[in-house]
Amino acid sequence: MIHLWKQGISCQRPLTSVNNRLVESIELPQFPNTDLTVGGRHRTHTLRLFTFVQGQMWSSLTPLETESYWHMGAFLARLHRHLKQHLRSWTKPISEQAWSLINAPNALDYVEFVMDENHRKLARNVLQTFRDKYAEKLRIANWIPEMDDKDFPIINTAKLIAFGQAIIQGFQCEASKDDWCLTQAERTCLVILVAVRFAQSLILGEHTFRVKDPGNEYVMLTAKQGGWEKLSSLWLTHRADFVNAWTQIK
């Protein structure tokens, strides 16, 4: 983020703490009125300080105009350019997180933690289709999570697909400066990528909620907001319609 800030990308800039650290680890009680000094249960929290960036959340831009989506595409292309520049300077391997798209097929290892059998079959089908038919056709790139106000939960995909042409045009216009335009495989796989992101978020949410961090309601937000129903609608009912509409974009 420091590199992006130096390149003129509007983003939060990390600040050092009073201990001159960019990252602090703090132990807090897991439950109210717990005394850490007598062995009470606790959690270790990671704390980072950032500058405040004045602006608006994407979801607050109403009505959303085509021009806004064009600028989104152009911004993503600029962001990718500067990330590539920064990562070329790294001398150690990059550790990809579980929720990175490149690791989406690994979510198959946790699909059994999904309690509902129909949901389990749906997620497995989506991830296996991506792994077997699409993954090898896509270039590996360093990217950002969903373009929403949070991080892990899924956004309203209908709006993104509806304004896909503007996003692509903005991206292509900016990316052409680096000769890094989208390939045909990338242009035709949006629907499967949306479905994969749904499945990945839902599966990892179930696994985290039941095993890694029991009771963490945040990771179940996608499911609580109708994630399984949306994935089913996208994958089982309207997939052909979405694929046809998306591939018509020039």
pLDDT digits (tens, 9 = 90+) for 168-185: 667 667 666 665 666 777
Token pair of 209 as six digits: 């909620």
H or E element at residue 120: helix 117-129
Shared domain check, 170 and 83: yes
Shared domain check, 183 and 121: yes
pLDDT of 185 reads 76
Last-in-domain residue among 55, 72, 87: 55
- Percent of the chain clearing pLDDT 70 (strictly above): 72
CA distance 73 to 78: 9
Last-in-domain residue among 40, 55, 70: 55
- Phi/psi-derived region of residue 42, left when phi > 0, alpha when psi is between -120 and 50, beta in every other case: beta
Shared domain check, 186 and 88: yes
Shared domain check, 93 and 8: no
Shared domain check, 25 and 141: no
Task: For residue 131, name the pLDDT band (cuts at 50, 70, 90).
Answer: very high
Shared domain check, 229 and 170: yes
Claim: this prediction has a pTM higher than 0.75: no
Q: Give the residue, 147 or 10, on which the prediction is more confident.
A: 10
| Sequence-ordered list of residues with C-beta below 8 angstroms from that of 189, at least 6 positions apart, any chain | 134, 137, 138
Domain containing residue 202: CATH number: 3.90.1200
Total structural domains within the chain: 2
Closest CA to 232 of 82, 119, 115, 144: 119
Shared domain check, 187 and 112: yes
CA distance 243 to 79: 27
* Per-residue CA distances from 77 to 68, 185, 216, 224 (Å): 15, 17, 34, 32
On the question of pLDDT at 148 being above 50, the answer is: no
Shared domain check, 98 and 43: no
Last-in-domain residue among 38, 55, 72: 55
Domain that holds residue 21: 1-55
Q: Is the dihedral of CA 181, 186, 190, 193 positive or negative?
A: negative
